[in-house]
Structure 1
């Protein structure tokens, strides 16, 4: 750990100071003056908060003490320049961390396949590991949720700047810093759902296309086996893709979007294959083999550029052609460049013609409404007025004689999803689109409606389809096993599962679970739901696969994912790991080939560890379960009382940046569900909800209720039970350490002025008191003297980033105060008020981008 910290200090912190000073010398509009003033503002903010000054007092005194700017307009212009500069400082840190990734993180250390394999050999469990590798897999599902504020051009600069830093190319570094200074960070128009998909396809093409085969081939080399023999028909690492398919996440997604995204992925993949075969063509110049390469090249060229929609090339042909090429070179040409051929074969096996599987998602309530709209077209409805809730009958719907339509575009699109899925499977292969996720799943009827809809819209008798219920709220998690048992006990549904290799995928939502029940209860409820669902699935001989809706920060199920998955014991099926990756987590964890390989290996070995090593220590004892249950009960009550506080929603609406999320051009989707003007808790989307707390530097969803729950044990003289649980349970220890990360990024001096607010003062104090209590107990039960003491490199990264954004956050709070003052005086619609609103919106960007290490 100390080596990691030393590497961070040398390669990130020190270089940041050097390169930031270079940035100051660049001839950019206003940068030199801003660069001189910004360190002064940073120090001024820190000293001001130490003296309990308010953000407006800090900003006003700064201008009076350090500048001659004497009008609000001039001062606001300077504040905008500060924000622009801070945004670029954050990019510099991102690039430095990317460049130093392999030094700060031990790529062959804990969590790597190399380290795992050494443990396996010591335990003499190699045979068990080889057997697990035939079936185990990791699936990353990219989503377009709006937590990524960098436009595509800036992401490119981060990559290029990181490579220049790694190569110590000072001339290139200076050029990229200049480019950075001249490149706008904000988007003038909202992206379309298709734009968002194209942005993420960049990661498929430039990162995952290279990283995944490298991992697979590396494992083959370490085990001295061919990947074909090692993994048989299993694709060890898979990709899923929600942009263009997720209707619940984005109501603007329609059938034509889904089809366009699938087409873009396929043509992008074909071009990638084409580039690879062109490289091979330079090396495979042997008699007989050369003609084989040329034939493959010509067919890929047609599929990429000439006739991509109706290309004659078939996946089976391409696989066979590459196999023939491999055999010819091996037999007749001394296996020259055979590794390059094998890498392309591996890519074709992994990515097929689909690249990534598009997932369709819709809310159960919309699906139910769609059935009501379509009932006149469904013959069974004429004889069964209760069809919509007749579980057995829904599963047996007959195919429609012709595809019907209704006027409502959302409801019509819900049914038209299935023909779109059928079309994508035809063009991209069966894996191109075969999963339908049901958000807000409450009972077996929600699953039966999708199953029946697929039959009705003609997906076929033996449907290549996974119907995936998503259980999110605490109540839904509690009954999830009973819902699944009703499905398993049904002959029609069980027959479908037999066609799907007796595998059922079930999604569990961390984000909405935390929003609904609080941090501790959400995590413990999901853990218990996994246990009960595993039990009932095993009873019916079904292999259950859990698909986790995990976000970036711990409040949305993020944090240390390796420890989380490694902590699951034998009572939870872990034959696969599937999880969502979203927003800044995609660029921070998978933004380079090195970081992508590292983080995918971490997930891979965490799952294999549970499959192969089967440590008895991971199984919770009855005593530990009782402690966790009581902690959850107390925490849940505390969070529910907090959530029901009459000032809860008004506080977020009036004192945070919640309503400003919708004014940023970072996403095509609305920031809340429902169309009511009055904000209701249930309409809040998890991401703006968590983000609003983050902008306040309060991070409530990551700690609220934790302190109260531990205090409950302390009041009964049972604190040692919590300490013992922390020492013995990796699951609990991971929860606590992730909560520490949330607290470490909280900074209450920023909003201390709110304690004097007539309306919200007591509510602010309530939050602050719980943060103090939580920090006290987390340190006590962990034996640490400061938060994240055992993760010094992460701690140092957070501290650097938090120091950079402190002036930005101060500006944001200053602007919010000014807006309230202008609104109270009847000047809320003036040009000046609008200027302050723009300051708030722009300040959102830098703070979110600076939080990449929350993932």
Structure 2
């Protein structure tokens, strides 16, 4: 790509953003006039100068909707510019997508056969979670989808003026509806509403995205000159599936009861059956092949008769016969869909996906035999692929619980079983814990009868595992892993096997009991990540794990708590080193590690462009299996519309494929920045932790950010704190509200603090090493990725707005002490990054500069309003006027939502 063409496309994109945004703001202006909200018209964002006087009621909602429109425009323009780039420079010019990935794999020296072998190893699974970061109601997102669809229609160049006027009128009507649709949760959403939102993506959006994704891959494969027959013979590769935590993640979430898990599994199963029934009904409209022109196999007619008989609804079977008897393929598909519909209602149906797959195979084989190979390729193969991906479970449900909760459950079991000193189990030394666990795990005999109660925590864990055991017996599919958050030692993992035995979630083998569900450590804090290789080695050596005879072990990494613990640079380096060391352990045992990356929605919690994230992984750490969390508002940002969903899924799959291929090759050279990073990491950690440990920091933090408002918000179903305590412990505070609160106040502090001190100490103590670091930067994927993310956080922060929030701190000395520290570190980090990168971000990253600049003026208004709202609300709370505080709280929530829309991020 030439620089002039790149610049031309960039400028074209900026013009398109401005043009489309003006159009939508004009439509919003018409909607406000229609609603009689004329006093807001002078305050419309991006429509000229804003009056100086105090904005009227409704400005927050106005700006929030304005930002939502801007976000839509940016998504559409990004897609349009990708299309123009492909037309001008070819599909291989777009980094991260299939054409470029296949070209780069060929560049590694791989033949098509070797690429197919790599693709067979690739198994990618996004996991949808319901952390409290999605501030918008689902009804608002429905309005967004309607607006987005009209925006897409408006791009068609051949519409008449009348047709364009109709589109504009529909957009104005949608904006009028959106204005009167409450934006925020005034009542905390329950888990099932969160799950229904996730099911919308899984059942209603991803299947259509998969059709496009498969087409993109097939076209890229053909265009590369590779044989399609070889690819088809390999089956459904690379593999994509989906997971979820909603209804299974009980870490600090007391509302996720065993009954909730059982209901979640049932909802997911029914949604999967609905998906396949819908797909079959759509397929039936295509299979209009008639008996008069096609030879009908006897097996097809026989199967039609069988399904009509077992359907259990004579009237429905007769109706389908009368309508489709001359179109046997359509008749069979209609019967298959009817059987699934009745199955959803509780009647007998297909016992498992394999039974449904046999009917699809009968369709495929008979259609292919009749010579209609294109019909089979375009309609039957995608159906088989969706059945393979979604099964009868839609998404696998992981169950996660904290190691401390497990310790308390085991303690209650030991006490109930009369084990001496069982009540002290959580504080037993590791040797004593392991001695008891190893002894007990040799026996299949439980401590207690399954009707006995040992205590609250024990009952909750055991009843949840019994739900899993029942589901596995009845349905087989749909269960993910048993994930242990805050894994610190081997006994944290072995304790899960003990609990599984107690609940009947183990199976007998000639070698001894086996847990059919994988037990997965989650390493989160800096100390835990450093201990992780030793824990994994001990775990893989244990007979219970070796008995599973699995060639793969999943390990989850926590990006959020590690960052909260030690800052962005140290967390990134600790995670990087942990993956290198964990991968070395796996190599010793001859197994593959499947990393589960617990990335959040913000850079401070592990977010960043997917293909750059993969490129920065330690060499050799990606062996095909890749899981990552998709949290809160990032789900809607990535997947709310078909084009964007397809793009992001393609980034995931193509990125995993190329990175797996690259990691299977010997490393070309060591990362030149590696020798310098230990000292940088240590200096950054010391600076970050010194700030957090400085006397008065918690008081300053709670006054300078809206953390108290977030703790009282109704954004998600899960509490902001693990134990329910408020105000006294950063350790107890979840990483999401920690980052969310700093983001709202425009500090973005967890995403950069400590980096400047680390760079300054290196430069002062060893100028030649600082020069080495600068020279290494373009050749170090890890360092470039990390420092670019730090730079993005710095650019998103705003010193003037920080100062406004600092005015909320009542103690002048406290405010001055911490603001002096923070501002000095901010300026230090900004200046040293500009030196390392040879220039300010605005000149090097014009797209990022544009997206920040266009938001800044309306954001400034919103921040100043929020500061005043916080001051008033806190005053009411302090005065004990709880009713008045509650009355004004929705305004504060709307303020939080509006700023989130403007920043495109929460926590």
Matched, 1:352 2:384: no
Once residues 41 and 95 of structure 1 are traced to their aligned partners in structure 2, the CA distance between those partners, rounded to angstroms, is: 18
How far is 1:570 from its partner?
A: 2.9
Once residues 240 and 440 of structure 2 are traced to their aligned partners in structure 1, the CA distance between those partners, rounded to angstroms, is: 35
2:349 maps to what in 1? Answer: 312
Specify whether residues 260 and 302 from structure 1 end up closer, same or farther in structure 2 by C-alpha distance, changes over 3 A only: farther
Q: Among 329, 335, 339, which residue is 1:298 paired with?
A: 335
1:49 maps to what in 2? Answer: none
Spell out the pairing of 1:568-607 with structure 2 (5 A cutoff): 568-607=617-656
1:327 maps to what in 2? Answer: 365
2:453 maps to what in 1? Answer: 406
1:34 maps to what in 2? Answer: 40
Q: Among 190, 193, 199, which residue is 2:191 paired with?
A: 193
How far is 1:549 from its partner?
A: 0.5
Specify whether residues 565 and 799 from structure 1 end up closer, same or farther in structure 2 by C-alpha distance, changes over 3 A only: same
Q: Among 664, 678, 683, which residue is 1:634 paired with?
A: 683
Once residues 574 and 866 of structure 2 are traced to their aligned partners in structure 1, the CA distance between those partners, rounded to angstroms, is: 36
Spell out the pairing of 1:224-263 with structure 2 (5 A cutoff): 224-225=227-228, 229=232, 231-232=234-235, 236-248=239-251, 250-263=253-266
Matched, 1:816 2:867: no
Spell out the pairing of 1:53-202 with structure 2 (5 A cutoff): 62-63=53-54, 78-79=56-57, 81-105=58-82, 108=91, 109-126=94-111, 127-168=113-154, 169-202=167-200
1:644 maps to what in 2? Answer: 693
Specify whether residues 421 and 11 from structure 1 end up closer, same or farther in structure 2 by C-alpha distance, changes over 3 A only: farther
How far is 1:408 from its partner?
A: 4.5
Deviations 1:590-612, CA, capped at 9 Å, x for gaps: 22222222222222233222322
3-state secondary structure, aligned to 1:544: strand
Specify whether residues 121 and 599 from structure 1 end up closer, same or farther in structure 2 by C-alpha distance, changes over 3 A only: same
Higher mean displacement: 468-477 or 407-416: 407-416
In the alignment, is the contact (CA less than 8 A) between 1:303 and 1:311 conserved in 2?
Answer: no
Spell out the pairing of 1:760-839 with structure 2 (5 A cutoff): 760-787=815-842, 789-819=843-873, 827=879, 829=881, 837-839=889-891
Specify whether residues 294 and 38 from structure 1 end up closer, same or farther in structure 2 by C-alpha distance, changes over 3 A only: same
Matched, 1:5 2:60: no
In the alignment, is the contact (CA less than 8 A) between 2:30 and 2:172 conserved in 1?
Answer: no
3-state secondary structure, aligned to 2:242: strand
Specify whether residues 851 and 138 from structure 1 end up closer, same or farther in structure 2 by C-alpha distance, changes over 3 A only: farther
Specify whether residues 630 and 617 from structure 1 end up closer, same or farther in structure 2 by C-alpha distance, changes over 3 A only: farther
Higher mean displacement: 656-665 or 751-760: 751-760
Q: Among 469, 476, 497, which residue is 1:429 paired with?
A: 476
Once residues 133 and 155 of structure 1 are traced to their aligned partners in structure 2, the CA distance between those partners, rounded to angstroms, is: 35
How far is 1:118 from its partner?
A: 2.0
Once residues 617 and 802 of structure 1 are traced to their aligned partners in structure 2, the CA distance between those partners, rounded to angstroms, is: 46
Higher mean displacement: 93-102 or 581-590: 93-102
Spell out the pairing of 1:485-500 with structure 2 (5 A cutoff): 485-496=537-548, 498=549
5+ residue gaps in structure 2? 1-5, 155-166, 222-226, 301-326, 509-513
Specify whether residues 820 and 489 from structure 1 end up closer, same or farther in structure 2 by C-alpha distance, changes over 3 A only: closer
Higher mean displacement: 473-482 or 376-385: 376-385
3-state secondary structure, aligned to 1:434: strand
Specify whether residues 363 and 605 from structure 1 end up closer, same or farther in structure 2 by C-alpha distance, changes over 3 A only: same
1:505 maps to what in 2? Answer: 554
3-state secondary structure, aligned to 2:590: coil
Specify whether residues 427 and 15 from structure 1 end up closer, same or farther in structure 2 by C-alpha distance, changes over 3 A only: farther
How far is 1:418 from its partner?
A: 1.6
1:53 maps to what in 2? Answer: none
Higher mean displacement: 403-412 or 660-669: 403-412
Once residues 160 and 751 of structure 1 are traced to their aligned partners in structure 2, the CA distance between those partners, rounded to angstroms, is: 36
In the alignment, is the contact (CA less than 8 A) between 1:617 and 1:728 conserved in 2?
Answer: no
Q: Among 779, 784, 800, which residue is 1:728 paired with?
A: 779
How far is 1:241 from its partner?
A: 0.3
How far is 1:537 from its partner?
A: 1.1
Specify whether residues 820 and 378 from structure 1 end up closer, same or farther in structure 2 by C-alpha distance, changes over 3 A only: closer
1:58 maps to what in 2? Answer: none
How far is 1:569 from its partner?
A: 4.1
Matched, 1:442 2:488: yes
Once residues 234 and 390 of structure 2 are traced to their aligned partners in structure 1, the CA distance between those partners, rounded to angstroms, is: 15
In the alignment, is the contact (CA less than 8 A) between 1:322 and 1:341 conserved in 2?
Answer: yes
Once residues 8 and 429 of structure 1 are traced to their aligned partners in structure 2, the CA distance between those partners, rounded to angstroms, is: 49
Matched, 1:848 2:834: no
In the alignment, is the contact (CA less than 8 A) between 2:128 and 2:631 conserved in 1?
Answer: yes
Once residues 30 and 633 of structure 1 are traced to their aligned partners in structure 2, the CA distance between those partners, rounded to angstroms, is: 59
How far is 1:162 from its partner?
A: 1.1
How far is 1:739 from its partner?
A: 1.1
In the alignment, is the contact (CA less than 8 A) between 2:622 and 2:659 conserved in 1?
Answer: no
How far is 1:32 from its partner?
A: 2.3
CA RMSD of aligned residues (A): 2.9
How far is 1:491 from its partner?
A: 2.6
Once residues 802 and 507 of structure 1 are traced to their aligned partners in structure 2, the CA distance between those partners, rounded to angstroms, is: 37
Once residues 390 and 700 of structure 2 are traced to their aligned partners in structure 1, the CA distance between those partners, rounded to angstroms, is: 47
1:23 maps to what in 2? Answer: 28
Q: Among 386, 394, 401, which residue is 1:362 paired with?
A: 401
In the alignment, is the contact (CA less than 8 A) between 2:183 and 2:894 conserved in 1?
Answer: no
Matched, 1:274 2:271: no
Spell out the pairing of 1:607-686 with structure 2 (5 A cutoff): 607-614=656-663, 621=670, 624-686=673-735
In the alignment, is the contact (CA less than 8 A) between 2:743 and 2:906 conserved in 1?
Answer: no
In the alignment, is the contact (CA less than 8 A) between 2:119 and 2:238 conserved in 1?
Answer: no
Specify whether residues 409 and 36 from structure 1 end up closer, same or farther in structure 2 by C-alpha distance, changes over 3 A only: farther
Once residues 822 and 258 of structure 1 are traced to their aligned partners in structure 2, the CA distance between those partners, rounded to angstroms, is: 40
- Equivalent residues, number: 819
Once residues 16 and 423 of structure 1 are traced to their aligned partners in structure 2, the CA distance between those partners, rounded to angstroms, is: 53
3-state secondary structure, aligned to 1:522: helix
Deviations 1:153-206, CA, capped at 9 Å, x for gaps: 111121121111111132322222222222110223211111111111111122
Once residues 736 and 601 of structure 1 are traced to their aligned partners in structure 2, the CA distance between those partners, rounded to angstroms, is: 26
Specify whether residues 103 and 784 from structure 1 end up closer, same or farther in structure 2 by C-alpha distance, changes over 3 A only: farther
Higher mean displacement: 155-164 or 692-701: 155-164
Specify whether residues 231 and 804 from structure 1 end up closer, same or farther in structure 2 by C-alpha distance, changes over 3 A only: farther
Once residues 611 and 708 of structure 1 are traced to their aligned partners in structure 2, the CA distance between those partners, rounded to angstroms, is: 36
Specify whether residues 38 and 708 from structure 1 end up closer, same or farther in structure 2 by C-alpha distance, changes over 3 A only: same
In the alignment, is the contact (CA less than 8 A) between 2:42 and 2:50 conserved in 1?
Answer: no
In the alignment, is the contact (CA less than 8 A) between 2:440 and 2:498 conserved in 1?
Answer: yes
2:791 maps to what in 1? Answer: 740
5+ residue gaps in structure 1? 46-60, 64-74
Once residues 502 and 106 of structure 2 are traced to their aligned partners in structure 1, the CA distance between those partners, rounded to angstroms, is: 52
In the alignment, is the contact (CA less than 8 A) between 1:396 and 1:452 conserved in 2?
Answer: no
Deviations 1:774-819, CA, capped at 9 Å, x for gaps: 11111110123235x4443333223323433221111001222344
3-state secondary structure, aligned to 1:758: helix
Once residues 311 and 377 of structure 1 are traced to their aligned partners in structure 2, the CA distance between those partners, rounded to angstroms, is: 42
Specify whether residues 396 and 12 from structure 1 end up closer, same or farther in structure 2 by C-alpha distance, changes over 3 A only: farther
In the alignment, is the contact (CA less than 8 A) between 2:277 and 2:340 conserved in 1?
Answer: no
2:602 maps to what in 1? Answer: 553
Once residues 425 and 204 of structure 1 are traced to their aligned partners in structure 2, the CA distance between those partners, rounded to angstroms, is: 21
Once residues 855 and 818 of structure 2 are traced to their aligned partners in structure 1, the CA distance between those partners, rounded to angstroms, is: 28
Q: TM-score, normalised by structure 2?
A: 0.85
Deviations 1:740-772, CA, capped at 9 Å, x for gaps: 111111112013253793332211221121111
